[in-house]
Structure 1
Amino acid sequence: MIKNRVVKVGLIGLGDMANAHRTMISELDELKLSALCDVNEDLLNKIGDIENVAVEKRFNNMEALISDGEVDAVISIVPNHLHARVLELCIQYQKPILAEKPFTLNFEEAEYLKSLYEKQPIPCMVGFSYRYTPSFRYAKELIQEGKIGKVKHISVRYLQSFGAPIYDVPFLWRFDKAITGTGALGDLGAHMIDLARFMIGEFTSVSAMVDTFVHERKNPVSGEMQKVDVDDYASFLAVLDNSIPGNFVTTRNAIGSGNQHEITVYGDFGTIHASCERPYEIDVCIIEDKEVQSSFETKPVSESYKRQQLEDFADLILGKKQEGTPEFFDGYQNQKILERIIESAESGRTVLID
């Protein structure tokens, strides 16, 4: 365990998402970006120059970075089909890691990693970033304090529009099952699952359907049409702890939705609605003094609910784990639920999680 010194971080994968992590690292005194890895040599050197990373700490091979004795911890931002391999190497070399979601390409990989992890555990955080949205954190606290009474049911949505036919998006890796595993379900649905687990509790069963709206997209290199073999839409009913029912919908074909991730929680005498697009306010409706009717009120969310994701990663590495940090088990359980959703959609029946 690293104590009382700056954690030297190696960043694997330098695509768009890595820019946000580079910024977060720069904001924390506990972390220092000291190594980089990407297969794109030009991008590797460009980012290396910007971040003043030594030339000998710029890698094309992720195992070389992970095994480097001067790298204390790893942040991995790679496509889904590489998630399991990065985690396997970090377990092998006993390197703390922040891994992206979905946890793995499929549940078979998750099961294999679990067998390794139980023998050689490491500090492992999974990138369920919406746990750090202030409005969600505030809503969770109100629910735990019983402000809306006993929770009766929930509704969760994660809607985007970029995949809609009108935008004519070309064939990307996110539309290729061999690389991404699933479509909207794993990309967006994984966040819905984690938000419900974070705020409400464990899933006990699911009943699901998935669909693909755009069956072919143009290959940007060849210009030929290529088959899409992942989902554009997924919806499922679920039962969570204490027999709480929930309905979940996700799609990348919702015109007018940018990044619309939201949850509504209904209790005995109140309702809370929170959205990632409004991180510093929530909508609350609470019946007070046995009044017959009440209306929604928008409440501000204090800056005190703001917490940077990598703060929890640094604390996890330094032996100061914070409550609610998404760890290895959260990733594993999330992947299990994704597997059960697929099983339910394919079989047309309700499936128990365990």
Structure 2
Amino acid sequence: MEGRKQIRWGILGCGNVTEVKSGPAYQKTEGFEVVAVMRRDAAKAADYAKRHGVSKHYSDADALINDTDVDAVYIATPPDSHKLYALKVAAAGKPCCVEKPMAPSYADSLEIQQAFAKKNLPLFVAYYRRSLPRFLKVKEWLDANEIGQVRHIHWFLGKPPNNIDLSGDYNWRTDAKVAPAGYFDDLASHGLDLFAYLLGDFKSVSGTAVNQQGLYSAKDAITGHWLHENGITGSGTWNFGTQVREDLVEIHGSQGKISFSIFEEANVILTNEESEEKLFIDHPKHVQQFHVENLRDDLLGQQNHPSTGKTALHTSWVMDSILGNL
């Protein structure tokens, strides 16, 4: 799409994630324009379009995908429909950004990635932490060898069940047919993808996943351990039935440690032989802003985006390996 002055986007699935996190970022990014949105509920699609100043709205995905005024498509529907819509976008010959995770399984993710690769079409996935300054600071410290040789990374993420979990009301995030590992699919993918970006691809991965609480059909307690291709070891525990919420990543090196949170608003902390440095780096109001700006730069041929179909496919492989699905 090099040489094009304005890239016109259509959004499939204008739900909560698009209200503040992502949708406005596409509208505010110079060179981008959101010209159409789609939601199966026609009234909600019309309401979203009116509130966000979007000229077209649909209740049919095919109509948006094949709209000649739409140059590229952002898929923001629940994960179980990502493959269906992404394959249609590939068939239409349009660039695409898919919300994370790319699909509920590695097999589906591979099918999506191959469809776009076969047509040489740009494919991105919304692992936006690869573009956020807070985590780029961690990468800067690692690249500068501030903690010496990296030895090990560990992440613990725990949270108590919420009111929806306890009530038994339907929640697609914990429906095994949509997200087999529940909140792990929704949350852990962000961190595991970031670890590949910070420390290199994973070489071998294994894990255990169970349902401890019996509140819903998806898994709720997962542990994993892995080896990066460069010899760094890693481990993680994700439990969605703990008493309190806790989110801590620690990267241990031969001469220090880096600590940070994937989701909490917390400092990034560098501790080494010389000192301890604590930095609080704000996220932008629209948290996908830098991710979306990087989409523009990639599509215009100015730089490569850090989160592509290829990198997200690797994350899907890691996820399925921890869950024992491969």
Tell me, yes or no, whether TM beats 0.5.
yes
Alignment partner of 1:84 is 2:64: no
Determine if contact 1:163/1:253 at 8 Å carries over to the other structure: no
User: How far apart in 1 are the matches of 2:263 and 2:109?
Assistant: 31
What's 1:39 paired with? Answer: 40
What's 1:139 paired with? Answer: 138
User: How far apart in 2 are the matches of 1:112 and 1:278?
Assistant: 33
User: How far apart in 2 are the matches of 1:131 and 1:255?
Assistant: 30
How has the CA–CA distance of structure 1 residues 133 and 114 changed in structure 2, closer, same or farther, with 3 Å as cutoff?
Answer: closer
Gaps of 5+ in 2: none
Report the secondary structure of 1:69's partner residue.
Answer: coil
Q: How do residues 204-353 of structure 1 correspond to structure 2 at under 5 angstroms?
A: 204-216=203-215, 228-257=216-245, 261-277=247-263, 281-288=267-274, 296-301=276-281, 308-322=290-304, 325-343=306-324
Total equivalences in the alignment: 322
Q: 1:22 deviation in Å? A: 2.0
How has the CA–CA distance of structure 1 residues 122 and 299 changed in structure 2, closer, same or farther, with 3 Å as cutoff?
Answer: same
Determine if contact 1:133/1:276 at 8 Å carries over to the other structure: no
Cα deviation code 1:113-163 (max 9, x no counterpart) = 343233112111101122233221101111011111110111123334344
Q: How do residues 80-229 of structure 1 correspond to structure 2 at under 5 angstroms?
A: 80-163=79-162, 167-168=166-167, 170-216=169-215, 228-229=216-217
Aligned partner letter, 1:246: G
Report the secondary structure of 1:158's partner residue.
Answer: strand
Cα deviation code 1:7-29 (max 9, x no counterpart) = 11111112111112222123222
Aligned partner letter, 2:13: G
User: How far apart in 1 are the matches of 2:248 and 2:304?
Assistant: 24
Aligned-pair identity (%): 20
Moved over 6 A (4+): none
Q: 1:110 deviation in Å? A: 2.3
Cα deviation code 1:270-304 (max 9, x no counterpart) = 1111224566732111114xxxxx6x442354999
Determine if contact 2:223/2:322 at 8 Å carries over to the other structure: no
Aligned partner letter, 1:342: L
Aligned partner letter, 2:252: Y
Gaps of 5+ in 1: 217-227, 289-293, 345-350
Query: Which one has a bigger Cα radius of gyration?
Result: 1
Aligned partner letter, 1:42: A
In the superposition, the TM-score normalised over structure 2's length comes to 0.89
Report the secondary structure of 2:230's partner residue.
Answer: helix
* RMSD (CA atoms): 2.5
User: How far apart in 1 are the matches of 2:157 and 2:4?
Assistant: 40
Aligned partner letter, 2:182: G
In the superposition, the TM-score normalised over structure 1's length comes to 0.83
Report the secondary structure of 1:157's partner residue.
Answer: strand
Determine if contact 2:260/2:266 at 8 Å carries over to the other structure: no
Report the secondary structure of 1:285's partner residue.
Answer: strand
Does 166-175 or 100-109 show the bigger shift?
A: 166-175
User: How far apart in 2 are the matches of 1:146 and 1:201?
Assistant: 15
